[in-house]
Structure formats: structure tokens, C-alpha cells
Structure 1
Amino acid sequence: MAAHAQQGDTAPHTPTLPAVEVLDSTEAQQRFDSAASHSSMAVDGFTATTPLVHLSEVLAGQPGVVATDRGNYAQDLQIAVRGFGSRSTFGVRGVRVVVDGIPASMPDGQGQAATAHLPTASQVEVLRGPFAQRYGNAAGGVVQVTTRDPRPGGGAQVGLGLGSFGQRLAEASFDFGDQRLAGLVGVSHFDTEGWRDHSAARRTHLNTKVVAQTGARTRITGLVNLYDQPLALDPLGLTRAQFAANPRQAVAATAAFGTRKAVGQNQLGLVVDHQLSDTDTLQLRAYGGTRQLTQFLGFSGEAANSSGGVVDLDRAYHGAAASWTRSVRRASGLPLTLTAGLEAHRLAEHRRGFVNNAGASGAVRRDEHDSASNTDAFAQVDAWLTPRWRAMAGVRTSQVRVGIDDRHVTPSNPDDSGSRTWRHTSPTAGLVWSASEHLNVYANAGRGFETPTLSEMAYGLDNSGPNYGLSAARSRQWELGAKWRKGGHEVDMAWFDTRSQGEIVPVATVNGRSVFQNVDNVRRRGLELAWRASMGTWSPRASYTYLDARFGDAFTGAGGAAIAAGNRLPGTARHTAQLALDYAPTPQWRLGAIVHASSAVFANDLNSQQAPGFAVWGLHAAYRVGSAQATGAHTTRWQLWARLDNVFNKHYAGTLIVNDGNGRFFEPAAGRRIIVGVRAQFL
């Protein structure tokens, strides 16, 4: 996330699009002194007691954040921050995902989290609240993953894991080079038969980072990320009756239409950090990639004016960003940091749709070339006003454009070509008061926006083609918070309030596809609490989120349903909490337990269907075989690890497909499951 100047620190800082590599005391102090709700979770690919397959493994228990594994690899994770993103039925919307400074969210706001390679990550960060708006479109929150730097002197690591329901994991990484030129190559393979019927998946992931220190002032980082998921069967959601009768079943449509998805994505990135002077730094970023996707949906799509039941997507995307930062000391001796920059991101995709003939592609029903782009400019100032008061302010202006070039024109399917452009300016401001050495109190406010994705604006009412009239949602946010650090204890608290106009919600389902509309006066407000401590061999932590997310006005929803003012936003729980305890009785052993609880969640705008609340337990353990076995100048370490999730085999809905037109809202969470693994590290 953004690194902010702290009092007494004269080093240059890059508050926007940073490359944060190591979680150290300086960065912890910067987060403590910042006027924002910001969490950082260290990731260690060797000591972790999880398979590191999903971001949900790391994000679980963060205040204000809901990150859930759907148990459905055809739809990716569901991530929501303070209620933003809860409407997503696939992928990530309303929340920006950034990996090594490269957006995993496209210009239209649609993103995916699967391409973050956690075995080679060093940390995962979450920025919540108004200051997330500095990242532009659909930044109700920001999740950033950072790949670790290559280890000095090189090394290697391998790992294997086996678990319930056919889970198999293999991973390896290799570090090489010296201080001038070093590299990291990591590869992992995961496959599973799935807990539910028709939910098997297989994927392979490669992540490479090469760092060149070309001089005392210049660092160049090259990034390669290759992701291949040739198989992901889609079990679809269940109705309430099906969920109660047998949560492991897949509905009949999965066999009738061969529901599944295959994805391949390849991406290159380049980052240049150059120190222009003792006070000025310049950062340049560029990236490009391709994504191929084929998905068989749970209906035929054979109607002449349908878009088909098979999606075939071929996408190319690229972007660049430049930021300049000046960090100086004023005559008073207090630091001041200025940042300004530009960003441009583009995607072009060839999207086709075919009739789904019992799991095989049939006649063409859609053929179009889509595009999306955004061009943004931003500026920010960060200044200590006195030794106890710090102010931060910024502004970002954005232009987002989407276009559709329809190539499938028939008497029943007229030319739907067109375009739409949205412009928005997002100001933010915050203030921090250092009440004492251990306590900071802060307040901030800002405005943001979220455009409809290409998928959300693809269909209009009465088969009228794309919904070019769909507007961007606009939000006003503020928060008050406090951060306390003393004696190994950390406490964070924040009260937030967000009001949105033009919220994007469904209005109908046409030929199996959702049609969206804008509604006003949507409110999200709540409280976040987090505590963690280090007490000798014990490391407890706890978090709690209260979220009141509701529609302020009545409106007409899908199927003509009357949505009452005061109805809850679907997909949001009013209460979520997590309590975890880790225990390290010896340097070799680590033991832990965790309980996660959630109140009931509504499945639709009408609030006529809901998933009951739940509490689930998990256990984990790790044993390091010999703390360090030296062989000549080298060190070999081994770690055995195991985890047992859903200890009491709780039957509950892990996620919901909100506002599903078929009433199949429920995606059951897996039952009791165990996974064990071993990792070896050679340094």
C-alpha cells in the first residue's frame, strides 16, 4: 500500500503505486502514523501452515474484509471490503486487486485474484476506507500482493501436500544471483476432485521476479506471471431445498450442459525505480498480458437473440504508470512529501458466444470486439504540521471508456455497437493526531466511483442490446479511527460511513443473463476492531466487524419485485468475528486454533432468502525437523505441517450467488477436511 513519510525520516517515499518488499519496523511505523485503515499480513512460503492456494487463506480475519473460497474454481474467490464487492457472482468487483504494482483489476473494474502467487509472496496488504479511492475506479478497498525479493546468495525450496477430497499440491522455487542481478522463479501445481459433485479443478502457476541494481540510484525489476487452469468444473449454486437436502450435490444442469471453465493468462511487467536526487525519486511501470477463457454455462442460449451458453474470450491488455515523489524537510525541520503521476490502462478482447449443445459449442450467437480503458492523473501531499499533527490530502481524476464493436448482426440481433465514457474526480483528505507515543487518532474523508463492468452493461431490457445508459456509482465516505501500540499489543479501531448514489443492482434476468440498473441512497456504515499480541510463547489475535449495509430508498428490483427501503444489501453479514490463538512451546513446534463466526446473510435484494449464521473451528500444527542442519556452507531446513478445517463438520453456506435469477443462491462450504504437507528449504 501507500508508504507515507514519518516524522524524523528523511528517505524518499512513493505514496502511490509503491513496491513494498519487506515488512520491517519502519513500514510498521509508517502505517501506524498514517491517516488510513491499513492492514499488512506477512507471508512466508516456508513456515506457512496453509497450502497458499487462495488469498482467502491470508485475508481471513482481517477487519472489514470478507474473502471466501467458493469451493468453485470456475468462479474465483469472492472478496468484499466494507460491503463493496459483495454483489459479485464471479471474480472480484468493487475492490481493486494489485499484484506487484500491476493491476489484476481491468479498466472496467472487473478483476480476479487467482493470479496472485502466494508461495513466493512476502506480504498481502489491505487498504480500506476513503484513501482507497486514490486507486481509482472500483476502489471500495484495495488488496495488494507483493512478491518477495530474491534471497541473497540464492537457494531453493520444494514442497508437497495431500488433503481430503483429492487435494494435491506440489511447489518449488529457486533463487539465484547476487546484489547486482538476482532472480526468483517459483512454480506450483494444485488439483482437487472437489468436495461437491462436479467440482474438480486443476491449475499450474509460475511466477518470476528478476531484480537488477544497475547503479547506486537505479533498480529495475522484471516480472513474469504465467497461469494455466485447463479444468474447472462448475457445480453451480443450489436452491434452499437442494442445499438442505444434500449440500454436496450438483444440479442437473451441470451434466446437461457440461458446465466448466478453462483459463490461461500470461503477463509481463517491468518496474524502474530511480533516485533523481537526494529528495526526488521517479518510478516507471509497464506491463502487458493476454487472457484466454472458455466457459460452458448452465443453459443452452439457443434463442436467436441470446448471447449463447458458451463464452469464448480472447483478451489482450497493457498499461503504464509514472510517478514522481519529492521528500524534503521544511525550515521547521518537519518532513513534507509531494507525489504526482499518470496512469493509462487498456484492454481489447474478442468475445464470442455459442449455443451450448449438451456441453459442446454450437451455432454462433455473439461475436464482438470489446474495449475498455482508463486514463488517470493524481497528486498527493503528506505533511507533518507539528510534531503531533500530520495531514494528508490527494486528488485523482479518471476517465473510463468502454466500447463494443458488434460483428454478429442478424434480423433478430441488430447491430449493438456503441460506447460509453465516464469521468470522475476523487478527492481525499485525512488528519492524524499523535495523542501519545503509543496512540494515534485519525479522521479522513473522500469520494469515489465505480463504473459498471463490461459484463454488467452487456444486456438491456427487452433484448435491446448493451445497456449504455447504465451510470457509474458514486460514493462519499468518511471514517474515524484509532491505533494503539504498546508492549507487544496492537489495537486498531475504525468507525466508517459510506453513502452511494447510482448503486449497480439487478433489475431483470433475460435469456439467463442479468440486466442491471442504478439505485440511489445506499448506505454502508459500521465498526471495525482488531487486536493482536505477542505474549511469550502465546500469540492471540481477534477481530470483529459490524456492518450495517442497506438500501435507503424503495425501488423495483428483478422480476418487478418491490424492494423496501431499509432492506439489507445481499451478501453482507451484520456481524463477523474471528478469534485465533497460536502457541509455540518449543522452537520446533507451533500449534494453533481458530474460530470464525458470521451472522445471517441475505441472498437477494428482496431479502426473501438468507443463509443462516455459523461458527466454524480450525486447527493447525507445524514441526520443524531440526532448526538448521548445516552442510558445509549451506543450510537445510524441513517443516511438516497439517491443518484440520471445519472441525465439527458444520453444514453452512460459504458464499452466496446474490440475486441469482434461478433462485440457486447457495454455494455450500466444504465439510470437515484435512491437508498435510512437507516443505524443504536449501540455503
Structure 2
Amino acid sequence: MSTSTPATGQPTILTTMQGAAFLLTLSCAGVAAAQNADANPKQLEDVVVTANRSEQRRFDTPASIDAVPVDPLRLGSPLVNMSELLSVVPGIQARERQNYAQDLQISVRGFGSRSTFGVRGVRILIDGIPATQPDGQGQAATASLTSAKRIEVLRGPVAQLYGNAAGGVVQVFTADPPTDGRVHLGASAGAGSYNQTQIEGSIAGGNDVIGGLLDVSQYATDGYRDHSAARRNQLNAKLVARPSSDTTLTGVFNVFDQPLAQDPLGLTRAQFDQNPRQVVQPALTFNTRKTIRQHQGGVVLEQRLSASDTINARVYAGTRQVFQTLALAANGVVDLDNSYGGAGLSWTRKTSVNGMPLNWTVGVESDRLDQERRGFNNVNGTPGAISRSELDKAQNTDFFGQLDWTFLPQWKASAGVRSSRVRLNIDDRLTPVNNGTVDYRNTSPVLGLVWYAREDLNFYGNIGRGFETPTLAESAYRSTATASPGPNLSLRASRSLQGEIGAKYRSGRHVADLALFDATSQDEIVPLSTLNGRTVYQNVDEVKRRGLELSLQSGWGQVSTRVAYTYLDAQFGKAYVNVQNGAVAAGNRLPGVPAHSLSTQVEFKPTQQATVGAEMRLDSKVYVNDINSEAAPGYAIFNLRGAYEFRAGPSRMFLYGRLDNVFDRQYAGSVIVNDGNRRFYEPAAGRRLFVGLRTQF
């Protein structure tokens, strides 16, 4: 029998629908196309991933992990939101809510689905630097996709090795500067429906010793809905120095400036059915909107000490200012001034036992957030009397270790552990009696095993424990009976036990992945009550998430296809009471995620220069609250795209266009879970066109 052992190669870019309906859709759509596939069969083969901390081929990892390639020159998409790229990955929901004041909704296997703003329950890293704060609150919009190289998505127990709120891990990697000694210039421009405009420019150059990249982009839209205009400016810079063959020093600096993001709020079901583009009156009365300014810089060092030993270190710091007006008068203006930073150090050693490879990594990470929070009464969209003044802090200190051992030619075992301490501190300047501090401690062990049955087939399984602390926002109120109730520091951290088994197959340009997973959480953080925009949270036990993920990729000559399917059975295993909405019965579905999700793509290259493609996205219904009294209907949407690449003198040109939601389907792109005003529904855009031109010199 032939054998296959784990190998580390050079980094390359990658990455029941009920019964008959699902099978019919699957057979018609085939297996769906990678947006950037070409006729090179190696594109679907060896892929190096780093999301599991030890760099190795995706095929060899005992975990559910995908890497999505990003080629900003040839990708027929505006590259504004991660939702444009992540639909081809099973197990993850990235919902573009047509509301730039609230960022994307991202959930992995149901973790993070109840977040009403930003991302929680899923850790986000950009070039190795956390975009998730120590309390578990993160942002996805700050990643510059116009200069990205790939996005990695890690799901399941292995993600727990990333610490607090790691129901899944999403990592974005910026492209490295060129090393050919030449200067590379790039530019792009695009326009689309709802007055969308995007311009971008980049310059990069370098050699084997030092190189740099600078990318600047601007995006603007009037929005699909009334009162949903947005403006966004981004700068991403990367400097890579290699003073010796053993040393690599990477510096990153980025700016995210969002001077305008109007918030149209959600709609009730009646309003959604009547006119999905409308805005509710409170949004206009209080001029609901958000502005964000963020500056961040960091340095990452990789130092090879010997053929066996490597040290990795990182340090970063940043500031983030947020000004937001909410749809309420009392404490309806939020003014946040954040400063944050952190450092990490890890040591990796490659050795052997009985002649078989054994690699291990140990490390420490510490991150902190200082948040000056001011609240004001909202007087028709302008700040009134001050109503809140706090200095809130969140800090974590984590120690971790991970080991991979190929103990037989066809068997590899993995083990890891992470010990975490998270501290939240509230310093209330208006009401000092509300001051307080709470510590959360947790140890997360993970075990994994993979059997390389053949060169083209392996089976794996892993199990692990994870945890998720309350965020500063979730800890803000312990009672809604008074105007200033004080923080809820008695909330406990949620703890989960996760397991999965899976199989991976690859043969030439054909790749198939299958995973079955199960997770049970204790002390899940859910709403207790909501009054005047203030939500109080509580802990409940026995929240279950289980399901199946299937991913297929294939290529036949000029046609390539890809499919990603997820079945998720997420439910409350134990009854509890929501004071505002009533009893939540055992067996109720977790809101915010569909039970079935299917994404397919097919791409055809009639010539070396031309590409045409079709995409389909199908989701089943999504419950909007814990009591399951309402649900957003299921939907299927279809998109078309085309591109043509040509040369004009010394430059390469890429002209593309895409038509999304071809049949102008009315559907809810996302839902605001457990909204106190029953405005649960955030409509997705109707039929829309976007065309663009990219060039590289």
C-alpha cells in the first residue's frame, strides 16, 4: 500500500436542502467554480495553511480548514466585503446586511450568530495581528481585500487554541511585496447600482533583502435602502526585510476611515413585505449613523535559530474612535475612544522520535484594550446632556502549546492546550458605586488524529473545549429598571465541548471534503430583557450545534466547478425565560442561522483571456428570535459574471462585470436577532450591476 506523510511545502494560494430538492440542486449545479481557477491542475492540489499555527498542507491537517485565494487583479468582484469571497466555504455565514454602520454578520457553525453589531464568537486576525479585542468583540471591515492574498477559515475544536471567543478563526493575509527588483504599479476603478463607486491604487517593489507594498482604496455608495449611504477609505502598507537568510521582519500599517455610514435600522415583517427599501421614522428622527477612524501598526519577526528551531514574535498597537447615534433619546449617542495593543512570542521546534517527525510550538500572548466610553442623550441626532462616562478595560494573558507527531507512516496525532485569563474592568466616573472587576480563567485542551489511508484520501477526528467571555457591551447592564443600572459582572463565560470527524480526498483537479461536527455549550450568553435599547444578558445551559459540511471542487478542461453545503441543527436543549418575549421552549432553533445553506459556482474559460461564470446561493428560513415566533423566509439567488484580460502596451488590463440577484428576488440578507422593537429584518439588495477595470504595470 502506498503511504502519504505530512509535508511542508512552499506557501501557495488556495485555499438535507430537504431530500430531493437538495439532490436536484446539487446535480444541476454540479460542483461549483473557484472564482480564480484556471486550467492549471496544481491549483487544486498542495495548499499550505497556517491557521492551525503549524504551517502544513491543507490536506494533512486534522481539522476543517479552507483557504480562499484572493487575486485582486483577476477577481471579478469589487472586493469591498468578505461576504463576496466566503460563500464558497462551508460552515461559515458571512451576511452582507446592506448596513455599513453595523459591519458584517459572521458566524461559524452557529457561533457568533446572535451578534447584533460587529463580530463576536469568531476570532479575526489580519497578517497575524488580532482584529478581535480581548473581550471577544471583533471587526471584519478593517481588512483591506484589495491587497489581500488569501483568507483562511478554521472551524471546529482546533480553533479553540486561539483563545477567547474562537468558535471559528478567520485570517486575512496581505500579499508579500515582489522580489524581482522592479516596481509594480496597479490601479482600479469600478461603478455600480445605487451609485456605488470604487477607486484603488497600489505600488509595490523590492528585492530579496527588502520590499514594500502600499495600497489605498476608496468606496462609496448611496445604499440600496433609504438612509443607508456610506463612505469608506482604507490604506494598507506592508514592509518585509530579510537582513539574513534566517531573519524575516515584517511591518504592517493600516488606516480605516469611515466618515459616513447611515443606519437605516431593521424593518418589521409588515414593513419588509410592503417596501424593503424604506427606512423607519426613528432612523430619520435621530439621524442614526456611525463614523469610525482606526489606525494600527505592528511588527512581526520570524527568526530561525537553527535547522530545527524558529522564534516568532509580534507586537502591535492601535487606536479606534467610534461615534454613533442610536434610535433612542436617553443615552442615544455613543462616543468611544479606544486604544489597544499586544505582544506575542512563540518557539517552534522540529524534531523526531523513533525516526518519525515530531513538531511542537509553545508560546505566550497578551493583549489589552482601554476604552473610554461616553454616552449622551440624543437630541434629534446631536449629542445632548452627558449620560455615561466610563473607562473600561479588557485584558488577556494566554499560554499555549501544540504538538504534531507522526507516530506511524500513515498516522499523525495532534495535541494542544491553551490557558487563558481574561479580565474586564469597569471604572464608572458618573456613578462610582458601579465600578467593578471580573476575571475569567479557562484551560482549553484539543486532541486530534489523522489517518492517511492513501495518497489521495485521509480521515481525521478531533475534540476540544473552548470558552467565550461576555463582551464589555454584553456586561454593560444588570438591570433595565433604572436609567443607570450599572454593569452585570455576574455573567459567566460560556464553555463548549466540540468534536468532529471528517474525510479529505484529492485527485488532480478534484477535491472533496466532508465533516460531521457536534458542539454543546454551557452558560451560553442570551438575552434576559430589553428596555429602551438596553439589553441585559443571562446564562443558559445545553445549547447544541451539530451538523454536516460538504465541499467539492472539480475541473474539466475549460470548466471548473465548486459547491459548499452546510447542514446545521442548532437548538436550545433546555427551556429558559426571556422576560420581554416569554418562555423559550427546549428544542427551539437558534436564531440567526439557516438549517441548510448551499453555494455553487461554475466557471467557463472559452479562451485564455475570457471568463464567464454563474453562481447560486440557497438558504433555508432563519428564525429571528429565541422564541421562534417569526422567521425570515428561505431564498435562492443567482448571479452572473464575466471578465476579459488583455494587454495595452506594458500594462495588463482586466475588465469585469457582474450582475447580482439576477431575478430581483426580495429576501432578508440578515436579521437582527431578538430586536426589542421587532424590527428583525435587514433587506438584501435587489438586482444590481457592478463593472470595473483593473490594470497592472
- State the TM-score, normalized to the length of structure 1: 0.94
Q: 1:357 matched to which residue of 2?
A: 379
SS in 2 for 1:663: coil
> Any residues of structure 2 matched to 1:416-435 within 5 Å, and which?
416-435=434-453
Contact 1:9 1:335 (C-alpha < 8 Å) held by counterparts: no
User: Which runs of 5 or more structure 1 residues have no equivalent in the other structure?
Assistant: 1-5, 14-21, 302-307
Residue number in structure 2 paired with 1:658: 673
SS state at 1:56 partner: helix
1:568 Cα offset (Å): 0.2
Determine helix, strand or coil for the equivalent of 2:580: helix
Partner letter of residue 119 of structure 1? T
Query: Counterparts of 1:257-656 in structure 2 under 5 Å?
Result: 257-301=286-330, 308-332=331-355, 334-409=356-431, 415-461=433-479, 462-463=481-482, 464-559=485-580, 561-626=582-647, 635-656=650-671
CA distance in 1 between counterparts of 2:73 and 2:662 reads: 25
Shift in alpha-carbon separation, 1:570–1:452, aligned structure 2, 3 A? same
8 Å Cα contact 1:271/1:285 also seen in 2 = yes
SS of 2:446's partner is: strand
Alignment deviations for residues 240-260 of structure 1 (CA, whole Å, 9 cap, x no partner): 111011100010001100100
Letter in 2 for 1:319: G
> Is this contact kept in 2: 1:84–1:141, CA < 8 A?
yes
Partner of 2:211: 182
The whole-number CA distance in structure 1 between the counterparts of 2:439 and 2:657 is: 51
Deviations 1:569-603 (A, max 9, x none): 00011100011100011011010000100000000
Structure 1 residues 63-72 or 26-35, which shifts more? Answer: 26-35
Per-residue displacement from partner, 1:174-193 (whole Å, max 9, x unpaired)? 00222111000001000000
Corresponding residue SS for 2:158: helix
The CA deviation string for residues 435-465 of structure 1, in whole angstroms up to 9 with x for no partner, is 1111000000000000010001101123431
**Residue aligning to 1:305:** none
SS in 2 for 1:385: strand
After superposing the two structures, state which structure 1 stretch, 543-552 or 173-182, moved more.
173-182
Q: Does 1:241 align with 2:259?
A: no
Same amino acid, percent of matched pairs: 53
Structure 1: which amino acid aligns with 2:73? F
Aligned-partner Cα distance in 2 for 1:610–1:523? 20
Question: What SS is found at the alignment partner of 2:137?
Answer: coil
Is structure 2 residue 145 aligned with structure 1 residue 118? yes
Asked if 1 retains the 8 angstrom alpha-carbon contact of 2:5 and 2:452, the reply is no
Verify the 8 A CA contact 1:12 1:279 in the aligned structure 2: no
1:513 CA drift (Å): 1.2
C-alpha distance in structure 1 between counterparts of 2:260 and 2:383, whole Å: 17
> What amino acid is the match of 1:335?
P
Q: Give the match for residue 250 of structure 2.
A: 221
| Contact persistence 1:199–1:233 (CA under 8 A) | yes
Give the whole-Å Cα distance in 2 for the aligned partners of 1:225 and 1:12: 27
* Change beyond 3 A, Cα 1:11–1:278: farther
Q: Which amino acid aligns with 1:110?
A: Q
Q: Distance in 2 between matches of 1:12 and 1:645?
A: 36
Deviation at 1:100, TM superposition (A): 0.3
- Cα distance in 2 for partners of 1:88, 1:383 equals 38
Match for residue 129 of structure 2? Answer: 102
SS of the residue aligned with 1:32?
A: helix
Retained in 2: the 8 A contact 1:442–1:482? yes
1:69 is the counterpart of 2:84: no
- Partner AA of 2:81 in structure 1: H
CA RMSD of aligned residues (A): 1.5
Give me the whole-angstrom Cα distance separating, in 2, the residues matched to 1:392 and 1:31: 15
TM-score if structure 2 supplies the norm length? 0.92
Cα distance in 2 between the residues matched to 1:527 and 1:475? 18
Q: CA deviation at 1:95?
A: 0.2
8 A Cα contact 1:109 1:452, kept in partner: yes
Amino acid at match of 1:537: Q
Shift of 1:331: 3.5
Q: C-alpha displacement at 1:286, in angstroms? A: 0.4
| CA distance in 1: counterparts of 2:103 and 2:280, whole angstroms | 19
1:198 aligns to 2:222 (yes or no): no
1:558 & 1:274 partners in 2: Cα distance? 55
**8 A contact 1:173–1:185 mirrored in 2:** yes
Contact 2:129 2:298 in 1 (8 A): yes
* Runs of 4+ displaced beyond 4 Å: 8-13
Distance 1:9 1:245, change over 3 A: closer
The aligned amino acid for 1:69 is: E
Between 1 and 2, higher relative CO (CA 8 Å, sep ≥ 6) is seen in 2
Shift of 1:158: 0.2
Alignment partners' CA distance in 2, 1:145 and 1:442:
25
Residue deviations 1:532-551 (CA, integer Å, cap 9, x gap): 11111001111110000000
Determine the C-alpha separation between the residues in 2 that align with 1:144 and 1:615: 28
Q: CA deviation at 1:8?
A: 6.5
What's the CA shift string for 1:350-396, capped at 9, x where partnerless? 10000000011000000000000000000111010111000000000
Tell whether the 8 Å contact from 2:217 to 2:234 is kept in structure 1 after alignment.
yes
Q: Could you tell me how far 1:61 is from its partner in structure 2?
A: 2.6
Question: 1:12 & 1:570 partners in 2: Cα distance?
Answer: 42
| Separation in 2, partners of 1:12, 1:616 | 38
Query: CA–CA distance in 1 between the matches of 2:579 and 2:228?
Result: 29
Tell me the SS of whatever aligns to 1:241.
helix
